[in-house]
Structure 1
Amino acid sequence: MALKTCLLLSAGLVSLCSGHDSDYVKSLPQNARQMFTESMTWMDDYHDSSAGYLYNFGGASALRYETRSSAWYALGLLARNSGDDVSEAEKIITNIIAGQYKEPADQWFGDYQQEPEEPYVGSTNYPPKIYGSFDPNWRGFIGTTFVMAIEEFGHLLSNGTKDLVLESLRNATIGDSYRVGGVDDDNLYSSYSNPAIMRAFVSGWTGRQLGDKNMTDAGETYAGEIIDLFNMHQTLSEFNSGTYTGVSLFGLTLWSKYLPADSVMTENGPKMLRATWDAVAQLWHPGMKNMAGPWDRAYGYDMNKYVSLMALWFWTILGKDKSSLIAKPQAMSHVADYAWAPLFSILSSFHSSLLPENITCRLSSFRQERTFSAQAYYPPYDLVPRNISTWLSTNLTIGAESYEETVIGGPSTSQTSFNPAVVQWLVDGKDVGFISLYPTETALAAQVAPGTLNLTYPKGNSSSIFTFVVSTNKKQRTVSGWEDVTGLKVGVSGNANLTYGLEFAGQYGGKGSLIRDFEFWNFTYSMPDGFEGVPNLVLEFESV
């Protein structure tokens, strides 16, 4: 593909036509306009105008409403500006602000209700639980959306609504300042990339709007901490996440677009965004439509089966058919993130202007077998920087990271989302198989070479295990051993007991439970009786 063609695709210069869209929507690049229109049509079906909210996308929610997606939908309504869209958007925005927590003494001050039906946090029978009864990151998710509403569509909003939004942003910013990593169960450090980037932005933007120098300076100072961490290795601390890299790129786009030239965020946002995309371009496998591992935080094992935010960015750059989304993303797992689409669509033109040169060509087709290496650092959970190594070939990828951490499961303390070693392969040239090491140790030394994954537990002992989550396949539904794993030949050696345990985790049965909606086979190796030494397991792979 010629460079000129790639640049045209990236810019999305061809427009789709629709008589019902506003001039603003018609002005969006082709791919972004398609994503905007399809996502808004989907959300229209969940909109309850009488309540001024969207219904929760989860089928098990018994027609309860959901706050965050309602905010995103409201921004889309302002962009579409057809019929009563603006009045509906204002209704949603005022409802959300009415449900914002406004008692300064509360830890959750300035945060937003997760649903309008829930009791007041901290009231009798509804005790405060971070990431339970309240999610402090929603200040950032909703706050950034409100900033975009003012910046892009302030001319459509009444003065009263704009005043409400600014007051809401003031409260959200002050509430976010209560967050200190390690205090009151909070985990917001400057290394927690996606909410940290949003926090710095909302504080810096709101402080300038209100003429509050302390608030502005707080945003700039916090951004400086994020930048210093990034500059250590030119990587986000929260590295290679199909979901959260997408949020960080969103936040860096806001840094770059909506703040003045004298902001440290305006200065550094574009550089950080380009460096992040450079890493993504090396890890993205167009044939598999997946980002090769390892993944710091993942909501699934195959991006073709769950909605990832990176897939939305890929849609804006490459087109829907080359992203990892199916024709109807609303059928995929983790569908709630599809509601981000209007925000990414609105930002797409500016975002594309910041991308590295020739990025469309690099993402469009698999170029050559290659090895990627990087480091990332997430204090205070990382005792040393993580060393990342990934090998990619036409039909097989292997990626792993060496780490020494204070907790099992990475900084999110989640064994189900931290994937420190990942193998993916093409089955019959189409479907994607996967193997992921389920983390059970605080330290891992991993070596990746073509076709080989070498895993060692430096702090392991006789009770250590190596346990792997392995994909199911329609072609071989019943698995009795590695020989039944479709499309891949697996050889295993090392000082572990090579007689492994095998279990199935399924929707309707088996010994284990689903992980992130995925069914899987679980292969587990334990150490021999009386073992002394350092546990080691070597896996060799060949796609067949």
Structure 2
Amino acid sequence: MTRRDDTQEWATNLLTESMNWLDMYYDADAGYLYSLDATALTHETRASAWYAAGLLARNEVDDVEQAVKIVENIIVGQHKNVSSQWFGDYQIYPEEPTVGTAQYPPKIYNSWDPNWRGFVGTTFVLMLEEFPTLIPNDTKTRMLESLYNTTIGDSYRVGGVDDDNLYPAYSNPSIMRAFVSGWVGRQLNESNMTAAGETYAQDVIDLFNRANTLSEFNSGTYAGVSLYALTLWAKYMPESSVMGQNGARMIKETWKSLGSLYNANLRNVAGPWDRSYGYDMNRYLSILALQIWTLVGKEKAPINGKPYVMGHKNDFAIGPLVAILAPFHNTLIDNTTVSSLDTFPGTHTVNTSAFSPPYDTYPRNISAWLSPNLTIGAESFSENVIGGPAKNPNSFNPAVVQWGRADGSVGWLTLYSQVMELNATVGEGVLSLTYPQGNSTSAFQFLVGTNSKRGKRDVASWADVEGVNVTVQGTVDPAYSVSFSGLVGGSGDTINDFEFWNFTYGMPEGSTETPYAKLSFELV
């Protein structure tokens, strides 16, 4: 039996484990999952939808009855005011006040999240496609009506208007938006809806075709969502659709890119990362890791034996959807890529690019050097925002280094982005960074992960960092500061639950030189 033949078993294992965990949160009386953050017995809508799909897939005892109850509850909680920006979206949680009242004003990505139209909408479609005989006809009718409303509401989204950021370059919701619009339009014979989905999909495809990369590049979380949504394109859209024509190819090429950047020894995708919720995939739960689980097995994937103890654990709730689609999705990935997820192929370099208009002045140029126990990746960019297209320095990691330590754990370093323009080059054991628009007030902040249990607890210099020797040269002042950001103390807060040491290099007072730092790394 080849490892490929184990895909169904691994997918079943993922379904079983994720559902066993979600079962503990299910409130049968309410027909919702309790909040996965366990916030005073409130409930949660999106995870409930994912759980309902898992219930249909499992189909034991009263699973179908509970799934239907959940779906009906979610539809009842859908926002119904056609004139509101959040029309057709779904409640964050059923106990919340009415969005748009004086006491509960609308705030995008807070009191309402426009991307939940895509997450819940695609889940409804998956249920209708995969389990049509299990869902009562009257519920199917209401699901289609809900999908019609969510598609209309999603059409209100225009990047740059009313604080919305949905451009075709915002890959994961864009791919979901195009799919739901195209699928619903065909189901209900709404030609305008079908055409809108096709047009938006073509915009996404055009950006992708430039370098065979997603604009939202190399994210353990959002590359996972994009692959999920592209699987819906490939599996459920007809050949007459541009989505049906391109979905499989885009999945294959996206996995090629991810596979080339993956270090199976470290069980991490090398940087740079456009949007990351952590610095070591072995310690935070990524959707991409769930997909790798179905490709090479849980033991070889970047997944803790107890996934629900990892950072960003709530994404384990999408496990049922990943498991349901895995047998089809995994057939679209070439053997070389799957092999790279299982065994590191040897030292190599990667050069590619990604483009996210309107934020990028030019495409971000990406380079990485991967060796068996040390990876260095970075991107050059010129943007009109700080923090990448997501405008979030806590998730944008334009320069990343990772290394293996003696106990098998992973050390890491990332540049905390504070600039709109960066020139970065990567070589064997070397990372070079320049701020073209910088001046004497510029600083390079390097966030460095804490040592393993066997390493030093206190870090005052590079000599105290476990597993690697680091030297820094350049125009920066060689005198640097070190501070700590911890869970319960230090000079700053954690980022995405990760503690770190902050090595900061400023420029010499009064310097007129361009800020430049060259970091050299040697494993010890």
Same fold (TM over 0.5): yes
Is the aligned partner of 1:543 residue 2:523? Answer: yes
Report what 1:31 is aligned to.
10
Look up the match of 2:466. 486
Give the Å deviation of 1:301: 0.4
1:177 to 155, 165, 186: 155
Which of the residues 305, 308, 323 maps onto 2:283?
305
Report the equivalent of 1:343.
321
Deviation at 1:498, TM superposition (A): 1.1
Question: Alpha-carbon deviations, 1:302-344, whole Å to 9, x = none?
Answer: 0001100010000000000011001110111101100111101
What SS is found at the alignment partner of 2:351?
Answer: strand
Name structure 1 gaps, 5 residues minimum: 14-28
- What is the CA–CA distance in structure 1 between the aligned matches of 2:89 and 2:523, rounded to whole Å? 49
Q: How many angstroms apart in 2 are the aligned matches of 1:165 and 1:537?
A: 56
- How many Å apart are 1:58 and its aligned residue? 1.1
Q: How does 1:273-288 map to 2 (within 5 A)?
A: 273-288=251-266
User: Do structure 1's residue 12 and structure 2's residue 6 form an aligned pair?
Assistant: yes
SS at match of 2:365: strand
Asked if structure 1 preserves the Cα contact closer than 8 Å seen for 2:99 and 2:111, the reply is yes
CA contact (8 A) 2:34 2:43 kept: yes
Within 5 Å, give how 1:130-279 maps onto structure 2: 130-279=108-257
Look up the equivalent residue of 1:517 and give its one-letter code: D
Which amino acid in 1 is paired with 2:43?
A: Y
Offset, 1:533: 2.5
Counterpart-to-counterpart distance in 1, 2:296 and 2:285: 16
- Establish whether residue 98 from structure 1 lines up as the match of residue 92 from structure 2: no
1:178-231 deviation digits (Å, cap 9, x = unpaired): 000000000000000000000000000000000100000100000000001101
How far, CA to CA, are the matches of 1:438 and 1:148 in structure 2?
39
Give the alignment partner of residue 363 of structure 2, picking from 381, 385, 390.
Answer: 385
Give, in angstroms, the shift of residue 422 of structure 1: 0.2
For 2:298, the equivalent position in structure 1 comes to 320
How far off is 1:358 after superposition? 3.4
Q: Secondary structure at the match of 1:529?
A: coil
**Letter matched to residue 475 of structure 2:** N
1:430-445 equivalence runs, <5 A: 430-445=408-423
SS in 2 for 1:278: helix
Partner in structure 2 of residue 516 of structure 1: 496
Q: Distance in 2 between matches of 1:360 and 1:466?
A: 37
Partner residue of 2:90?
Answer: 112
Match of 2:449 in 1: 471
Paired residues of 2:456 and 2:466 also in contact (CA < 8 A): yes
What is the distance in 2 between the residues matched to 1:157 and 1:367?
46
Secondary structure of 1:441's match?
Answer: coil
Q: Is contact 2:475–2:513 with CA below 8 Å preserved after alignment?
A: no
| Equivalent pair of 2:267/2:301 in contact (CA under 8 Å) | yes
Aligned equivalent of 1:364: 342
1:412-457: CA deviation from partner (whole Å, max 9, x where unpaired): 1101000000000001050000000000100000010000000000
- Measure how far apart 1:160 and its partner are: 1.0
The 8 Å contact of residues 228 and 322 in structure 2, kept in 1 or not, is answered as: yes
- Report SS of the residue matched to 1:174: helix
- Counterpart CA distance in 2 for 1:358 and 1:413 is 35
Q: Which amino acid aligns with 1:538?
A: K
**Amino acid corresponding to residue 53 of structure 1 in structure 2:** Y
Aligned to 1:53: 32
Does residue 129 of structure 1 match 2:107? yes
Query: How far off is 1:391 after superposition?
Result: 0.3
Q: 2:66 aligns with which of 88, 94, 103?
A: 88
Question: 1:444–1:456: 8 Å Cα contact kept in structure 2?
Answer: yes
Would you say how many aligned residue pairs link Structure 1 and Structure 2?
522
| Structure 1 counterpart of 2:44 | 66
SS in 2 for 1:422: strand
Conservation of the 8 A alpha-carbon contact between 2:270 and 2:402: yes
Note the residue ranges of structure 2 that are not aligned, 5 or more in a row. none
Distance, in Å, in 2 between the alignment partners of 1:363 and 1:157 is: 37
User: Aligned-pair distance for 1:96?
Assistant: 0.5
The 8 Å contact of residues 9 and 360 in structure 1, kept in 2 or not, is answered as no
Which residue does the alignment assign to 1:26?
Answer: none
